[in-house]
Structure formats: structure tokens, C-alpha cells
Amino acid sequence: MTINQFVESISSYLIEKRRSFHKMPELGFTEYVTTYRIFQQLDELDFNIFVGEETLVADERYGVPTQSELDEAEVRACHNGVPQAFIEKMQGGQTGIVAVLDTGRPGPHTAMRFDIDALPIKESQDDEHLPASNGFRSTIEDCMHACGHDGHTTIGLGVAKFLHEHHDELTGRYTLLFQPAEEGGRGAKAMVAKGWLDDVDYFLSGHLGIGDQEAGVVSATSSRFLASSKLNVHFKGKSAHAGVEPNEGKNALLAAASASLHLNSIPRHKDGATRVNVGRLEAGSGRNVIADYAYMEMETRGETTELNQYMLEQAKRMIDSSGQLYDVETEVEFMGEALNGRCDAEFLELIPKANEDNRFVTGVIDTIEVGASEDVTFMMERVQDQGGKATFMIFPSSIPNGHHHPAFDFDEYSLKTAVSTFAHTIQYINEQETI
Amino acid sequence: MTINQFVESISSYLIEKRRSFHKMPELGFTEYVTTYRIFQQLDELDFNIFVGEETLVADERYGVPTQSELDEAEVRACHNGVPQAFIEKMQGGQTGIVAVLDTGRPGPHTAMRFDIDALPIKESQDDEHLPASNGFRSTIEDCMHACGHDGHTTIGLGVAKFLHEHHDELTGRYTLLFQPAEEGGRGAKAMVAKGWLDDVDYFLSGHLGIGDQEAGVVSATSSRFLASSKLNVHFKGKSAHAGVEPNEGKNALLAAASASLHLNSIPRHKDGATRVNVGRLEAGSGRNVIADYAYMEMETRGETTELNQYMLEQAKRMIDSSGQLYDVETEVEFMGEALNGRCDAEFLELIPKANEDNRFVTGVIDTIEVGASEDVTFMMERVQDQGGKATFMIFPSSIPNGHHHPAFDFDEYSLKTAVSTFAHTIQYINEQETI
Amino acid sequence: MTINQFVESISSYLIEKRRSFHKMPELGFTEYVTTYRIFQQLDELDFNIFVGEETLVADERYGVPTQSELDEAEVRACHNGVPQAFIEKMQGGQTGIVAVLDTGRPGPHTAMRFDIDALPIKESQDDEHLPASNGFRSTIEDCMHACGHDGHTTIGLGVAKFLHEHHDELTGRYTLLFQPAEEGGRGAKAMVAKGWLDDVDYFLSGHLGIGDQEAGVVSATSSRFLASSKLNVHFKGKSAHAGVEPNEGKNALLAAASASLHLNSIPRHKDGATRVNVGRLEAGSGRNVIADYAYMEMETRGETTELNQYMLEQAKRMIDSSGQLYDVETEVEFMGEALNGRCDAEFLELIPKANEDNRFVTGVIDTIEVGASEDVTFMMERVQDQGGKATFMIFPSSIPNGHHHPAFDFDEYSLKTAVSTFAHTIQYINEQETI
Amino acid sequence: MTINQFVESISSYLIEKRRSFHKMPELGFTEYVTTYRIFQQLDELDFNIFVGEETLVADERYGVPTQSELDEAEVRACHNGVPQAFIEKMQGGQTGIVAVLDTGRPGPHTAMRFDIDALPIKESQDDEHLPASNGFRSTIEDCMHACGHDGHTTIGLGVAKFLHEHHDELTGRYTLLFQPAEEGGRGAKAMVAKGWLDDVDYFLSGHLGIGDQEAGVVSATSSRFLASSKLNVHFKGKSAHAGVEPNEGKNALLAAASASLHLNSIPRHKDGATRVNVGRLEAGSGRNVIADYAYMEMETRGETTELNQYMLEQAKRMIDSSGQLYDVETEVEFMGEALNGRCDAEFLELIPKANEDNRFVTGVIDTIEVGASEDVTFMMERVQDQGGKATFMIFPSSIPNGHHHPAFDFDEYSLKTAVSTFAHTIQYINEQETI
């Protein structure tokens, strides 16, 4: 059976798994059910499996959910049939799973990363939105796979099946990293700290759906990762009756509103693209009370680490000053980050060659600009620092709506394109290295 | 037994009840437990009792909680021993209770109103805060009796006991209105619509704690009620990935932040005091998503109805324009209101005379400025429109912190002052009218 | 000749003078022409006259114009026929004039104040605006008597004529203070410092046009003076090319814009009326340059000195913080102030009695609320501190548009009402004191 | 004499002229003196000269100064010895001059553009600022050559001298365009409309000082011109006394402040660099008057015409909404624009070859990013539309401070580099075309 035939043979498996993950989205570090379901698939195959606390250094995680959010996730996991002993391995939000296949034969160490978390977005119920009209819309309130990580997880399982089937023909070692909490740049660093990337020769990863191309096209590398910092900001003021003595209050809501506006007025930078976003704001308790508290989730980004640093410094000063405007205390919590990554040029040649016979690839282009942040950059940097080569491929997919949109979806054909690309590339590396 | 002796005799009953209500605060239209507990007290006495749907016109309520908030309140009521049949009488948030005593003897109809709801404020845990150090701090997360309505409810029960005990000496009719949802001006209008105030000769009500005076002082009337409008505002934008394509979003969070700031810049008015407050703001879902939704709870106030109208018109235009700034749709929901009330001058003479022998009153002053909004003004207006007389007394109480403060508290001695003042006043009116 | 007959006899003189002053408005401390024209009128009468530097303590002035503004004013004065020697007495903006009449006979010392400055407002050219259609519109670009000081100055001349004519019948001393720079609260304090008010028994002053009443009504006193502070704010940032390197700038324009918005959001105060206004803002040089400088003229006010102090403190913090938002330095200059004055109750009886036979007075009311700031309060305070009595009367005048409006005007009949009221009051005090 | 020797021979002439222009900066369309001084230099040489109204289509100019600004400029020109007849040719701000040399021999038509206007910036008086310490600081208040156009003008004269000296060796035609009002993108379009660029084969232009390189380096082309729109915005509100009746005003100052802040919060765009700047803001008249008027000078930019269009549309909506916030009318005036230009690739080869023997050129690089706007793009577009070739070279110059900085200056050695580059390039084109 050729790789093409193999991929075709698991076509309905891929679609079924993807839809199953799509129905059960989980936010970063609460992927208890997702992790267990990945485990169930891998458990039947030839892998050494590491779960939860075995996969990452807990203290290196950013933005761990609150205890009550974790408790809720564990209850849900329990209701969804995850065994208690398995839940315990993930306690405190140590989600994620790593599968290692050692062929025992000399050869390179290839690592692949698949991110598994979802977003706090309420999924569209529109009939034109395929997951809604086809019955696999999210079953979790206000939570959705709106960035394709359901597909990424599925691709990882497809690649695992390929490695399992072709176990005897392969050389070297293979590490599959199913990473929690990519959104917000919170999980990769903790996996890197565990050492998984320390002796990797080839690092392959990728993303579904970016770019204007149709499903079938593959980009060998990607560029323009934005370095990013993720911050939570707390504003502490003083409440007072808004009718009786408004002057006695210190208005935390206004301080946060002012910060939101001014942050968006940080000057654009001559050296390249920058971003800032206050994505969430919660302030005050009652209508007739001067708000004594406000809470903000925000981020800065920059085309380079320096540009992000510029945004971060300006943001900090503005947050501080916005507090002072209303005599309100501010506290900034660091919640996550991503680096300014780069792919190795070797893949510009390697990927096209490896996929010459790939039936599911209609063309390979050099690069697509990501224009967003990805903490896969922590993994790539570690690999490259040790002399390994890393790429982050793009699998365009004719998406009807942008990433993070309530009606985001992708063409499931891309699942085959991606699995097939990983498989052909693995085989090609194998052939090259063993000649 | 004189009234003074009677009041002294129920002293510990009053304190016990007040503390019990304080421990179980409930927000407007979710006072299921509170209503039931009032019922339990009144049920032993000589009253015709009306509960929930019998007390108000449901459609005339403002700002009814969401179904899930009501469901939660019903579950809590169930857990706290409220019988299912009783809960059903309050279904959909029709809380509140009315007790009527008809002596059968000719005489005036006197109505009294006691408000029973609490506020969405997290109560202080400070040792200096008496409810905390004395074990009757709120048991409900983020909910607190921070405006003395626990005391008001208790005073109502004390007055009920007085009416019951002195049943045989009294003439005319007595209606005790235990009103839900005073905060936000949401409940009074619905009770008025039911007709309770239509033939009232004397309307008595009051508030604990306003003013600088010590407990023991009584103000015969109050002034400077602020007319008020309560609004919820919804901002509907468009989400987008904040890193990849920020220009595709329509930022509802920024529209709401801008509205918050600009609302506070509505010009002061030459004709008198005005107020505006955005007390609550919630916007956005995730840090890296342009917020497609924001929600704001706000209010305007004015020393006169015209001044409040001025604020309301300016506010509406500013909300609309703030939406347009970011190409975001806005929708304004009307959630409550209070009028610009006035007390009848007759009480300036009546209250002091009635309380000449009141042991718990150290002095009667003419008036205290409220400087806040009260929907009791709807009841007062109805009474006055029909030719009746109305007052809203103040019972100062050396409060350590302002109303709506997390460590608000009052001197429980005021409970006796208030019950005793109601009782002496009732007796005096009785004597006057029957001579 | 009775006072009534006397006043009627100078009727056309008053109108002519008023219109002449109206055509030649001059801003505070640049009233070179106005001062000279007052001098020309007084010079023919029985007064000791003090001009410019003899009338005030220069260092106690607030908000002296720049040298180039003063130079321009001196050139204009020269062109308008003011002799060089006279200009020299006013050099450096020491405008204003004081006229003293000592009868030599024992009696009280009565001081009267008339303010003479204009406003930086472009006068309406509308046909409905009487000064425009009657040919006495301002001849000075962007400068206008929009607060009636042309009338006040004229009233002062009318009173001077009365004192001159009735010299022989009067006792005691009379001091007429023609004060510069009332707008902005800049001139009164400097005249007080010179000692003119130190031994005054009766202080009379007044204002045209406030209130809804028709011309002919007189208010014996006024109330609700707003205490006020006048500030200039300088914002110093850093310029940069707005296209090439916007990040290199420190945007003083945005800091000032932010300050303007936030200042207007200072919470209203429970204790009474407050005001804040940024009346002028100038920022930046060229369209494509990040603005390195901004300049703001602003003021705070309060119904009491404490309320103004509250506003001032909040304002200072907000200005400072707004600078920090954009990393811009701020500097606050103190430019003027007014106190929270009060009139003596004696005048409530005195003014009506004194004007019983006043043909030009249709009624005397107790008080009218000013609701603005007046540095006459410095004079009143000094008089009252020494045991004298002070009032600030109001002469309503059916004004078609509010004060400081480009089409402000008043009914010239009020000139007679005012002169007549001053005269009758002087005569009455004289009679009372000499009995 | 070689070109190198020729250029060296006019070295002190270039420095003298540059300093003389530097001392007499004039804003766009008021370059009366500058135009005359250019004329005086060209008049002695072999050119047909066109002045003022002969050089442009008046109606196609953007942002013509007010009549009083033009009057002032004409008075200054008169004082500086410009003959009345010459001034008349420029009346109404029709400044600029064109010099044409027709060799009479067949050959290409080469046009060159030199911009001559200055900026509204107050020049530094710092000793470290060479023009200050060497006595050629600007003699015009608040006006400065802070973008090197004094140098550009001088280079044009140097090139003119070269053409004159080498008249007999050259073929074809040469047009030197001394363009007014480049700042703000106001003058080029009007010259294009006159037809000067209609049959041009080679268009050469350039800018001093951009980039980090030292003087001596030349960039053959430039890139990243920002398309730009220049707008003036008028806000019309209603004045009122800020103390007496603040509610009667419609605050134009606050509307403009709000617009300034919000304009800076227009979202960054995924497709590339954008800019927005409010460079000037003037609002209000007096401190105690609600401002009834505000005026704003602003601009938008984009890396492409589409990006600028995006900014422009957002800006217009925000200006409109900011007006509505305060019930203030807004009016947007279009004042200038620049396109998103591109240089022809032919020059990447042509310039280095032409300057192989250029003693004043230490190296030729391909391109430097301008990152700003230039209305030379209108000329380039016209040339390219007709099939001609156009470039805009950069002459780096070790500038101590950025363009538009009060202490901007450049290394005068660059004058020789630039003249020499133009001359060598002209000679090379001549040789190529005539072979």
C-alpha cells in the first residue's frame, strides 16, 4: 500500500475524529477529555505514551486557569467517562500527551507538534455553517474550535497511524507532541522545558487554513510570526453610591476604559507591524455603584521581538497612567508569550521533493505569512539552537470565514493533504538519511 | 404595655431577624428565600397575606433577571427549605409579599412600604466590619445587604407585630408592602400597577442610615430624590483575529469604553444636580479576538425629572455615536426608573407630635436630603394623585461607611427607633382621625 | 432736580457712552483706550484720579498678557489718541482707574466697583443683533463686550456724574474702582492689595443681565458665586515625522486631547455644583509632524471653596496622568482665581427702602443666583473682614442671548435702572448715617 | 574639465546658496522670495524660464494659503527686493519656476524635479545645531527648512550650471521643475496638470538625508512611498458661559479632542503599514467659554493606495461620530494627496554604471525605503503612463536628527554627491541614446 493509498484508507476515520473533537472543544489546560480521547487512539498503537504531568514542567506554563475552572473541567471529564486515575495524571491543568516511537534502528530524531486547545467563542448556529447544519457544532457553551486545532489533533492521529503501519520500514525516532494551550502562547514553553526538543534533528509542524489558496496547496514554510506578550490587568479602585456621593469613588471601570482606548493609540512603528488588543474587559458590579474593580485581558505583538518589546513598554506606561487618571491602582500579570520564529530554508527544497508523488498535494509554495503569534516558536528555537532544522508548514483550506470567527470552518480534504504531507516528508527524510 | 415597652420587648427579635436576613441577601426579583421567611413571620399574625404573583403586575416590572438567574434562585430557595408550592407562586421572579389588616372599624387606610432586596457587592471580611466579626456576614457570593434593606424588612416585621398586638385598638385598614427590587428602580411601579396604593390616605415609608446624625434622630420627611433612568446597552460588532487581521473586526469593547468615558463628560447642568454612572461593563471573549460584543449597565439621574431627561437624551446620543465610532451597532434597553418625589408638608408637624413620648427618638428634624433615587416615589405619587398624604422618613444611624460600600453597616438601635416611630405615628393618626 | 430727573437727563449720555465702549472692547490688562476714555470723562468732574500703576499692585495680578500682546495694545492706544505720557502710566498692562471724592464732611466711606474688560469672542454680524444693525458692533477683531462690562463702565460714569452733581449734599467719602481684567479673575486681587478696600463701610457693585426678569427689576443681593481657579497648561513632547517614524514622537496633542476629555469626567460632587472647562486648546505645528507642544486654558469652579479645591486637585492629577500616557511633560501655571462670596443680609432691607421712589425700578427681589465666578468676591471679603457691609446687585435686562454669546446684548433701559439704584442707595445711606 | 572637476569648482557656490535658502524658508505656495532667487541664478544661464502662473494650473493646487497669509508673503517678498512685476506673476500663491534647455539636437527629454518649500517648525537655537552656530539659522519665525529642500533647490541650481556649461555636448531636451508646496502633497499635481511631464523619457528626482548611510552613498531608487490624504477638519458647536450654563454649549473642543484620540485607534491593517496623524489642533477662544469651534489638520497614509483608502474611510466615519458625540457639526476639507509610487527597475543598472567614475559617490545601493509620502509620485506616474522611465534617488547624509526635527541638518558634502550624480547620469543617458 502506497502512502497515498494509506491516507485514502483512513479518510473517513479522519473526518469522524475531527468532528468528534469539534463537538467537544476545551480551553487551554482544561483539555482533559481531548487528552483522554487522544490517548484512547494512541493506546492501540506502537507508542510509548506520556500523559499530563509527564509531558511538561508545570511551573513553566503561563495563564493556568483558576482552581474553579479546573474543577469544572475535571467534573466534565468525569461526566464524559475519563477514568479518575487518568484525570489525576492531569491534575491542576497538566493536560497534553506525548507519544514516542523508537524504531531501534539508527536514524534521525523527528519531532512533530499538534496543538489541541479551543477558544472562548460561541459557535455560529447558522445553517450555512457546516458544523451546525451537519450536527457536529460545539456542545460546550461559549467554547469553540475556531482555529482548526480539532483538525491539527486529527492530523496527529493520522500521522501516528502512518508511523504505526510503517514501523518496520522506518529508522530513527519519532516524537508526537500533542500540546495544550497554544492559544495565548501558554503551553509550548512548558513542554520545551521538559526536554522533548533537546536532541531533535527535524521538527515538523503546521497550521490549517491560513492563506487564500485552495485545499491541496501546501506551503513548505511560513514567515512573519509575530512576537507577542499576553497580559492580564487588574484595576483596583473604590466603590461608592453613584447617586449619593459619586465623588467618594475611585472609578476602576473608567480607568480600564481609558486604558483600552489609549492602548489602541500607541503609535505605529517605523520598523514594521505591531499589534495591540484588549480582548476582554470586565468591570463593576452594580449599575448604581462606582466600579471598584476592573479586569482586562490584553496582548501586544510585533513583527520582531524588539517591536513587541516597544509595544509592551508603551502599554505598561499607559496602563499605569490610566490608573492614575482615576486614582486607581493597577497590577499587570504576565500570562503568556510567543517568539518571533523562522523556518529553515532547507525545507524550501525538501518539502517539494518529498511530495512530488503526493496525490493530495496540488502544489507546493515557498512560504505564507502567518501574521499571528504561535508558541511553536519556542519549540523551533530550541531545535535550531541545538543544530536541528525546523519548519511550520501551512495547509490552506478555502476557509469561509477568518480564524477565530464564530463560523470558522475548513475543507476536510485538507486533513488528507496534511497527513499525507507529513508522511511523505518523513519517508523522504528517512530515505535521504539512510542512503 | 405602652408602645415603648412593646418595642423594647421585641428588641432581640429585631436583631435576630435583621442578622438572619443579612446572611441571606438576594438580588431584586430573586428574593425567594427572603419572601418566604417574611411569610413565615406574618403567617402567625392577623393578616391577609398575598404572595408573589398576587402582589404585582409582572409586565410592569423592569429589569427582570435572565431565566438562568431565576432558575438558580429557585434552586437555592429549594435548598433553603422553601416549599415547591410557595416557589411556584413566585415563578419568573414575581417575588414580594403584601400583608393587609382590616380592623373592620371605620378609619383611614394607611400603607407602609419596606424594600427587601440586596446588592451585587462582595461583603467585607474585615474584622472591623461587625457582620464579619459577629458571624452574620453574607453567605451568598458577591451579594450583600449594603443598603440596609435587611433592616427595612425587619422594621416591617416589627410594625406587623405592633399592628397584630394592637389590632383591637386600631381603626381603618393597614397595608404592609414588602417590595422586591428597589435597587435599580424596578419593583415599585409593578406593585402600584396592582392597585395597592389606589385608596391610601396615609403612606409611610423610610430609610435607614442616611445623614450624619446619630441613631435616635428621625427626619420627618426627606427631599432631593433624584429622578433616574436605568439602561442596559448592548454593543454588537464583529470579531476577528487580533493578530492576523485586526482591520476586519468591529471593536465592540472600544465602542463601550468610549461610551463610558464620554458619558461621564456630559456637561453639568445649570439647573441643578445630575448624575451618570456606568456601573458595569462586560466585553469580549478572548484576549486575541477583537471583541464582537459588549454589555453595559448604566444610569442617569437628575434633581428634577427635566434634569434626568436632559441626561438621558445626551446619554442616548453619546451611546449611539460611540457605536458609530467603531462601526458597531448599539441597542438601549430601558431597565428601571424612579421619579422626583416630594413628601407632604403635613408630616413636618405630624411626626414630631406623634413621637413626643417616643423613648427611642432623641429628636425630630424636618428633612434630610436623599441625593439618590428611590422608586418609592412611584407609590408616593399614586397616593398623592388620589389625595392621600405621603412621607419617606429617614432614620440616621451613625454608619461607619457609605451606602453600597462593602463594609456598610448600621447601628441596630435604629431598628427600635424606626419601629417605634411607625407605631407612634400610626397611633397618633388613629387618634386624630377618630376624634 | 430729583435723582429720577437727573438720571433721565443723562439718558442719552449713557447710551452714547455705552455704545462707544462697545465698539472698542479690550481684553483684560490691555484696556489702554478704555482707561483713557474713562479718564477723559472723570477729569472734568470733582474727583482725585489715580491711573494705572497707582491703582494696583502689579505683582498681584494674574494672567498678565505677553509682552507682544501688550505692545500691540499700546500701539492701538497710540493710534486711538491716547497720549504717550498716559500710556506710560499703564505700562506693562497696569490698566484701570480709581476716582475718589472726599466730601470733607464726616460720614461713611462707600466704595463701588465697575469692571471694564471684554472677551475674546467674535461678535455676531447678524441683523437681529442690535449692535450690528445699529452700527456699534465691535471694531476689534475677535474681541467683544459679551458680558456687559461696557454697560458697567457706563454705569460707573453715570454714578460719577451723580456724585459730582450732588457733591454738596453728600457726606463721607466715595471711591469708584474701574477694575481691569475681571474675566478670568485676574484684576480684583491686585486692587485689593493696593489698599482701596481697607476702610470701606459700604461696598456696592452689580451686574447687568443675569436672571430671567425684565429690565427694571433689581435684585438686592446675589448668591451662588462659584469659587474658581484658572490654569494654563503646557504639554511638552517630542516632534517626529509622522510618516517615517511616528514611534519616535511624544505626542503632546494627544496628551492634551486626553486631558480635555478626562477633565470633563471628574465625578460630580455630593456637596454641590462644580464646573470644569477647557476653553482653549492649541497644539502642534504641521500636519505631518507629531505635535511636540500643546497649550490649554482651563478653569475649575465650585459652589464653595472646598468644592473648587476638590476639582482643582482632581484636575491636577488628571493633567499629570494625561501627560504620562504619552510620555509628555506637563506644567501647570496658575492664572487667576475667584472666591466664594456672600452678600450681607442688611441689603435685603436697605435696597428696597432706598429705592421706594425710584422711577426706574419696577420691583426689588431678594437675590438672584449668579452661578458663575466673580473676583469682586476678593473686594467683598476684604470689606467684610474689616467690618464693612458688601453687596453685589443684579440688574436683569431681558437679554436675547446668554452671557459670552456672540450675540449677547442687553436692554439699555437697565443703565438708568442701575445708575438710579446706586444713586438712591447712596442717598439713603447718607440720610441714615447722618441722622 | 571633467564632471568631477566641474562639481568641485562649484563647491563653495553650492554651500553659499544652500545657506542662503536655509536662512529664508517659506511655506508651500508662499515661496515668493525663493522663486525669485532661483530666477536670479537661472537668468544668467541658457534656459527658457517660466515663472509662477506659467508653471502650474492654479485650480489643481491643494491647500492654498489664506489670502492674508498670501498678502503677508507678498509684503515680505517686497521687503526682500522682489520686483512688483515678478510678484504679480506669482499672485495668489502661484509660486515655482521651470527652466527648459533645448539643445536642438535629437535626443531624449529628461525632466528633473527639485522641491523648494519649508515647514512650520521653529528652528533649534542649540549650539550643536550647525545652522545656529554658523549663522545661517532661519530668519523667519516658526518656519524652517527641516526637510532638506534648501539642499534640493541648491542641487537644482548646480544641475542647471552643469547643463549650461555642457550645453554643446548634450542632445535632446532638459526640463528643471522647481516645485512649490511638496509638504502636504499640494504642488506636484498642479505642475503635472500643466503638461510638463507629458513627453518625458527620463525623470530624475531625489531626496537628501534618508537612511542610515553616510554622505557619499547613493540609492539608485527608492521604495515604500506611502499613499496619503491630507485633510482639514472644522468642528462647529455652540458657545456658552462655562460657569453659568455649561449645558447650553455644544463643545467643539471636546469633539475635536475625541476625534484626535479615536483616529489614533483605527485598527492596524493586515496588508501593511498605515499611518494617521493629527498634527495641529486649535480650539476655543476663552477659558470660561464652551468652545464653539475647533480646527484640525490631519493626514492618513498607507503603504498602498488601498491601505490609505481604508484609513481615510475609517477616519471620516470617526470624525463624523466624534462630532455627533457632542452634537457638533463637522466639515472635512480635502487638502492634498500623494500616490503610492514606484521607481523603474532600469535605474538599478543605469545609475551604478553612470556613476562608476563619480568621485563623490562611494557606493550605489539598490533602494532605500522612504516610508513617507511624496507628491513626486504624481510626476512619476504621468511619466510612466506615457512610457517614460522614472526614479527617485536617495542621497544619504549622516543626519544628526530626523526629518522635520527642529535640529534637522545634513552634511553639505551630499550636495556635491547629488549634483555629480545627476550630471553623470545625464551624460550617461546621452551617450547611450546617441550611440
Instruction: Provide the pLDDT for residue C406.
Output: 92
Q: Above 60 in pLDDT, residue D435?
A: no
Average pLDDT estimate for A166-186 = 95
Residue A225: closest CA among A337, A152, A302: A302
Q: A-contacting residues of B 77-136, CB under 8 Å? A: 119-122
Global confidence as pTM: 0.80
Beta strand C48-51 with C97-102 is: antiparallel
Instruction: Provide the pLDDT for residue D431.
Output: 87
Q: Above 90 in pLDDT, residue A408?
A: yes
Please provide the distance, in angstroms rounded to a whole number, between the alpha carbons at the two ends of chain C. Answer: 22
Instruction: Provide the pLDDT for residue B434.
Output: 63
Q: Above 80 in pLDDT, residue A320?
A: yes
Average per-residue pLDDT for chain D: 94
Give the whole-angstrom CA distance, residue D356 versus residue D368.
20
DSSP string, A329-346: EEEEEEEEEE------TH
The answer to whether D372 faces chain A, any CB pair under 8 Å, is no
Average pLDDT estimate for D332-336 = 91
Size of interface C-D (CB pairs under 8 A): 219
Give the whole-angstrom CA distance, residue A288 versus residue A404.
35
Of D261, D267, D272, the CB nearest to A261: D261
Q: Which of residues D112 and B226 earns the better pLDDT score?
A: D112
Q: Residue A159: phi, psi to the nearest 5? A: -65, -40
Residue contact B325–D327, C-beta within 8 A:
no
The string over B41-75, giving b where at least 16 C-beta atoms fall within 10 Å of a residue's C-beta and e elsewhere, is bbeebebebbbbbebbebebbbbbbeeeebeebbe
Of A244, A246, A317, the CB nearest to C327: A317
β strands within D193-257, DSSP E: 202-208, 217-223, 227-236
Instruction: Provide the pLDDT for residue A434.
Output: 63
Helix (H) or strand (E) holding C228: strand C227-236
Instruction: Provide the pLDDT for residue C435.
Output: 56
Beta bridge partners of D363: D217
Q: Is C315 exposed, middle or buried (0-12, 13-18, 19+ CB in 10 A)?
A: buried
* D12-55 pLDDT tens trace: 999 999 999 999 999 999 999 999 999 999 998 989 999 999 99
Closest residue on chain C to A248 (Cα): C269
Q: Above 80 in pLDDT, residue C185?
A: yes
What is this model's ipTM?
0.75
Q: Is B377 exposed, middle or buried (0-12, 13-18, 19+ CB in 10 A)?
A: buried
CB-side neighbour CA atoms (13 Å) of A252: 26
- Residues C429, C431, C432, C434: what is their CA dihedral angle, to the nearest 10 degrees? 110
Average pLDDT estimate for D61-82 = 93
Residue contact A265–D261, C-beta within 8 A:
yes
Q: Write out chain B residues lying below 8 Å of C274, CB-based.
A: 268
Size of interface A-D (CB pairs under 8 A): 23
- Residues C274, B307, C224, C220: what is their CA dihedral angle, to the nearest 10 degrees? 170
- Shortest Cα–Cα distance, C287 to chain A (Å): 16
Give the whole-angstrom CA distance, residue A152 versus residue B78.
46
Instruction: Provide the pLDDT for residue D60.
Output: 94
pLDDT in tens, chain B (435 residues): 899 999 999 999 999 999 999 999 999 999 999 999 999 999 989 899 999 999 999 999 999 999 999 999 999 999 999 999 999 999 999 999 999 999 999 999 999 999 999 999 999 999 999 999 999 999 999 999 999 999 999 999 999 999 999 999 999 999 999 999 999 899 999 999 999 999 999 999 999 998 788 999 999 999 988 999 999 999 999 999 898 899 999 999 999 999 999 999 999 999 999 999 999 999 998 888 999 999 999 999 999 989 999 999 999 999 999 999 999 999 999 988 888 889 999 999 999 999 999 999 999 999 998 888 899 999 999 999 999 999 999 999 989 988 989 999 999 999 999 999 999 999 999 988 765
Contact (Cβ atoms closer than 8 angstroms) between residue B359 and residue B420: yes
Contact (Cβ atoms closer than 8 angstroms) between residue A310 and residue B298: no
The answer to whether C290 faces chain A, any CB pair under 8 Å, is yes
- Shortest Cα–Cα distance, D356 to chain C (Å): 31
Contact (Cβ atoms closer than 8 angstroms) between residue A359 and residue A420: yes
Residue A19: closest CA among A142, A137, A143: A137
**Cell numbers 427607633 correspond to what residue?**
B417
Of B261, B264, B268, the CB nearest to C275: B268
Average per-residue pLDDT for chain A: 94
Q: Write out chain C residues lying below 8 Å of B265, CB-based.
A: 261, 264-265
Average per-residue pLDDT for chain C: 94
Give the whole-angstrom CA distance, residue A422 versus residue D372.
44
The answer to whether C288 faces chain A, any CB pair under 8 Å, is no
Cell readout for B112 is: 407602609
Residue contact D273–A275, C-beta within 8 A:
no
Instruction: Provide the pLDDT for residue C431.
Output: 87
Q: Is A309 exposed, middle or buried (0-12, 13-18, 19+ CB in 10 A)?
A: middle
Cell readout for C19 is: 455704545
* D347-400 pLDDT tens trace: 999 999 999 999 999 999 999 988 888 999 999 999 999 999 999 999 999 899
Q: Above 70 in pLDDT, residue D434?
A: no
The answer to whether B281 faces chain C, any CB pair under 8 Å, is no
DSSP string, D400-430: SS-TT-TT----THHHHHHHHHHHHHHHHHH
What subunits touch chain D, counting only 3 or more CB pairs under 8 A?
A, B, C
Instruction: Provide the pLDDT for residue B195.
Output: 96
Instruction: Provide the pLDDT for residue A122.
Output: 92
Cell readout for A53 is: 504531568
- Shortest Cα–Cα distance, A305 to chain C (Å): 16
DSSP string, C244-259: T-GGG-B-HHHHHHHH
What letter would DSSP give residue D9?
H
Instruction: Provide the pLDDT for residue D433.
Output: 74
**C-alpha separations of A41 from A283, B62, B89 in Å:** 44, 53, 53
Closest residue on chain D to C403 (Cα): D241
Within 10 Å of residue B402's Cβ, how many Cβ atoms?
A: 19
Average pLDDT estimate for C390-417 = 94
**C-alpha separations of B224 from B182, B273, B370, B373, D272 in Å:** 17, 9, 5, 9, 57
Give the whole-angstrom CA distance, residue A111 versus residue A201.
8
Q: A-contacting residues of D 245-274, CB under 8 Å? A: 261-262, 264-265, 267-268, 270, 272-274
Q: Above 70 in pLDDT, residue C434?
A: no
The answer to whether C325 faces chain B, any CB pair under 8 Å, is no
Residue at B60: amino acid letter: E
The string over D42-71, giving b where at least 16 C-beta atoms fall within 10 Å of a residue's C-beta and e elsewhere, is beebebebbbbbebbebebbbbbbeeeebe
Which of B121, B140, B229, B260 best probes binding to A when mutated, by most A CB atoms within 10 angstroms?
B260
* C91-135 pLDDT tens trace: 999 999 999 999 999 999 999 999 999 999 999 999 999 999 999
Q: Residue A283: phi, psi to the nearest 5? A: -150, 140
Positive or negative, the CA dihedral C16, C21, C22, C24 is positive
